[in-house]
Structure formats: structure tokens, C-alpha cells
Amino acid sequence: MSDTQNYQHQLDTKIQKIRADFAEFNLPDLTVFPSPPSHYRMRAEFKIWQAGEFASYAMFAPGPVKTPVAIEAFTAASTTINRLMPLIMDNINQQAPLRYKLFEAHFLTSTTGEALVSLVYHTPLTPLWQAHADELCHRLGINIVGRSRGQKMIVGRDYVNEEFIVQGRKFHYRHSENSFTQPNGFVCEHMLNWAAEHTQNLGGDLLELYCGNGNFTLPLTQNFNQVLATEVAKVSVADAHHNIARNNITNLQVLRMSSAELADALTQKRQFRRLGDLDLKRYQFSTVFVDPPRCGLDTQTLDFIKRFPNILYISCNPESLKHNLHELSNTHRIQAMALFDQFPFTDHIETGVLLAQQ
């Protein structure tokens, strides 16, 4: 089979699995968003294999015994990552301060071609390391972060800028080092457009839980009068506030709170000083949006979101989604469902579901 045929075969297998696993919910037509079969990952992490005075990228072969395999390229990663991999390793092997006790290299790129490389060490970083990193940064036009225990050195900046076009409008994002971002930039743009398309006529206000850096939140503000979003990760909250200002969004408020805390605040079970003078009673929520971790939604959050007329649910784990839908189907009906192939040639399946109250 050609690479294209191989890709389509694995995608068809995923489609069949979703249709079979969720047949009991009387699904509408499943919308499928494929990925490019290669060069789709905007980020990648590699171990560094040290052999004498020579270092190389390494990944571990599957199996009970972890065996490192030296690699020079990684076709799943973006073209920017593959272009930079040999250039950076050549410099690491030529400069002892860059190679000494280096054990990991993390790449973060964007669809616009920006790159951030994090080099992780088992030894403290020195001014000599910084001088070599600075020279490499300027020569390759990249940003570098050096890390060792309790130490972080930034050469350039510790983020990349990303852009996605949603319903004809360009949105700008800051993606910071060590914060969550969608790994497949091409499929991410499809996800944003699908979410925006299926919420454009819902009206009212939107509540979003687990908003991250505002990835979905920013374009969804176009479809609602007001948007209230929560996130607990400090770096993601800072990025969200930056992205709000960068995109001139005026109807969005991001709070650093857990979903459970916000549920308590909205139901007046508890009061929180961090809300300041924000009046939660002014919101008229028609929709709640959740994008939970692999374990899905906990019982308290499930009970909380049932009160909303519409639920938009992005899931990275079909098993936890199915478990949650067993509960949500008591009050809501699936209106639309999509499969987003974030990780080609793996068992991973990302889905989106829109539910409306019965």
C-alpha cells in the first residue's frame, strides 16, 4: 500500500470503531476530519543518547525492555522540527558546553514556522552555556530554553506564536513552553471551525471549563453575548489573558478556578474572593463547553452541566466519553458528532459531541 492508502485504512478502522462503540446512542452522521499523514505534530520530545563525545536523538522501541533507538528524523513531526533536528544536533556535538550532561530535547513549533527548543540537563547551566545557546539561537532563528534542576535560562523567548483561521477570521495565540497545546495544528484548526459552526445559532452566554490558553474560547466568543471560562494552570491563564488582548476580545472573562469551584460559586454554595466584583448572576448561559482530561468528567461536574440547554464536549478518550454519555443521555440528545484524527497511525481517537436538552 502507498502511504496515502495506509493512512486511509487506519482512519477507516477508527471510523468503524466509533460508529460501533456509540451505536446505542443513535448517532447522527459522523463528520470526519483527517490529518496529513506526515509532518502533522507541532511538538515532539526526544531523549538524548550520549556515546562518548557524540550525542544523538533517541526514542524507545516498544516492548517490555526499553531499548533506545537513535534517530535522525521524525516524519510525524512538523517540517520545521525535521529541518532543525540535524542542524541543532550538529551544533550540540561541536560545542561541549551544549552537549555535556544533556539528556532531553523538546521541540515546540507552529504552523507559521516558529520554533522553540528546550534543552534539559543533569548539570547546572553556566554563562558559557548561555553564550553558545545565544549564538545558536541567532544563527538558526529559533528560541532556546535551557533547563536543569531548579534552573531555567531563556534565550530569545519561551513561547511561539500560532495562527488559526476560524470562519474567515484569523486568531493569534501564544503557545508557551511546558503548557498544553493541541499537538496537531492542522486538525486543531478543523476542530475550532467545527465547534464554531455548531454553536453559531445557540445564542445566550457560554461557560467553558478547562479553557487552557483560550484555544477554543477565542473563536467561540463570536457566537455568544458573553463568555466565562475557567482554567487552573497558571501559565495557561497568563497566555489566555495575553491572547484575549492580542485578539481584541471584549466579551470574555477567564478565571483561575477549578470546575468544581466555579460550580460551587454559580450555585451559591461557596463564595470566592478571587471573583472580585464579578457578578455571576448577569450571565444567561445557553451552553457549556468541556474539554476534560482522558479520565473524562467527574460525577460532580456531570451533575453540574446537566442544567445547561446545550453541551459541547471535546474528548480525547472515547471510553470516558461513552461512560459520560450514559449519564448525559438521560437529559440530553446528541445533535452532532465528529472524529478528529489528531494522531495518525495510533489508536488515539479525538471526538467532538454537541448535545441538546431533551
- Is 350 known to be catalytic? yes
List all residues 6 or more positions away from 23 whose beta carbon is below 8 Å from its beta carbon. none
Other CB atoms within 10 A of residue 204 CB = 16
Q: CA angle 153-115-107, nearest 5°?
A: 75
Q: Which of 162, 177, 189, 350 is catalytic?
A: 350
Strand partners, 105: 46, 119
Grid coordinates standing for 291?
Answer: 474539554
Alpha carbons within 13 A on the beta-carbon side of 48: 26
Question: Smallest Cα–Cα separation from 314: which of 205, 178, 180, 135?
Answer: 180
- How far are the Cα atoms of 200, 243, 317 from residue 307, in angstroms, in the given order? 20, 30, 24
Pairing of strands 227-230, 205-209: parallel
Q: Measured between alpha carbons, how far is 39 from 17 in angstroms, rounded to an integer? A: 25
- Is 316 known to be catalytic? yes
List all residues 6 or more positions away from 53 whose beta carbon is below 8 Å from its beta carbon. 93, 96, 99
- Sheet arrangement for strand 67-71: 67-71, 54-61, 43-51, 102-109, 115-121, 143-148, 151-155
Q: Measured between alpha carbons, how far is 18 from 310 in angstroms, rounded to an integer? A: 22
Q: Which of 135, 188, 316, 327 is catalytic?
A: 316
Q: CA angle 184-315-300, nearest 5°?
A: 145
* Positions marked active-site: 316, 350
